[in-house]
Structure 1
Amino acid sequence: MKKRVYHWQPELSSAIIYWSCTFGILFLSLILTLEHTRPYLISNIVLGIFFFFVLLGHNRYFIVEDEYLIIHAILPVRRKKITLSAIEIIRVGSKCIEIKAPGFKEETQMFIMTKKNKTTFIEAIKNQTLFKAQIIEDPDLTISKHY
């Protein structure tokens, strides 16, 4: 059986920086294309780099296993495998979720998710037997972190 993945994006400031740089590569490719009237190798290579970064940006996801929550991020250093019993609180906002667990750098991490992904992820994690954390519906939770 194939594992279900739940896609996410990082907090708002990181997402804006990443996607701005990615679309900057697209605009550079388009500018290089406008310089010539026929297909141009360098602009096609830069366009290929743009598509690579788009695929890389969509390569962030959760996998819920029997004992673990696997958080797959772009950088291998940031990938985490957290036991479900270690999760303390999950706060659910309108556009994001915040997970509090000791495995994170600041004990908590924010994830932006679509409404469909968020609801299916919450239902999947509730159905795990080792998951004992409290799930809090918080309409005041915004997509930017407050320190």
Structure 2
Amino acid sequence: MKKKVYHWQPELSTAIIYWSCTFGILFLSLILTLEHTRPYLISNIVLGIFFFFALVGCNRYFMIEDEQLIVHALLPIRRKKITLSAIEMIRVGPKCIEISSPGFKEGTQLFIMTKKNKVAFIKSMKQQSLLSATIIDDPQLTISKHY
């Protein structure tokens, strides 16, 4: 059986910085392409770098396996396996969710998700028997962290 993954993006400022740099690489490739009238090796290499970063940027997801929530992030260092019993609270906003757990560096982490992914993820989490966290629907939760 294929494992279900739920894609997410980081909080707003980090997502904006990452995707701005990624599309900057695309525009650099297009500028290099305009400099020559025939296919140009350097512009194609830069375009390949753009596609690499675009694929890597879309490779952030949750996966629920056995008794753990696997948070697959961009860098291997930031990937986490959190036991479902360690999750204290899940706040669900209109465009994002916030998960509170001691497994995260700051205690909580914000994840931007599409409505379809968010609904499927929450439904799947509610079906887990080991999850003791409270799931709160919070319409005031925004996609950026406020400190």
- The TM-score bracket by the shorter chain reads over 0.9
Q: Which residue of 1 aligns with 2:38?
A: 38
Q: Deviations over 1:73-102 (max 9, x none)?
A: 010000000000000000000000000000
Tell me the secondary structure at the aligned position of residue 109 of structure 2. Answer: strand
**Structure 1: tracts of 5 or more residues without a match:** none
Q: Which residue of 2 aligns with 1:55?
A: 55
Q: Which residue of 1 aligns with 2:19?
A: 19
Q: Report how far residue 66 of structure 1 moved.
A: 2.2
Aligned pair count reads 147
Q: Which residue of 2 aligns with 1:98?
A: 98
Q: Which residue of 2 aligns with 1:139?
A: 139
Distance in structure 2 (CA, Å) of the matches to 1:76 and 1:66: 21
Q: Is the 8 A contact 1:98 1:108 kept in 2?
A: yes
User: What is the CA RMSD across the aligned residues, in angstroms?
Assistant: 0.4
Q: Report how far residue 38 of structure 1 moved.
A: 0.5
TM-score using structure 1 length: 0.99
Distance in structure 1 (CA, Å) of the matches to 2:4 and 2:67: 15
Which AA in structure 2 matches 1:16? I
Q: Which runs of 4+ in 1 moved over 3 A?
A: none
TM-score using structure 2 length: 0.99
**Structure 2: tracts of 5 or more residues without a match:** none
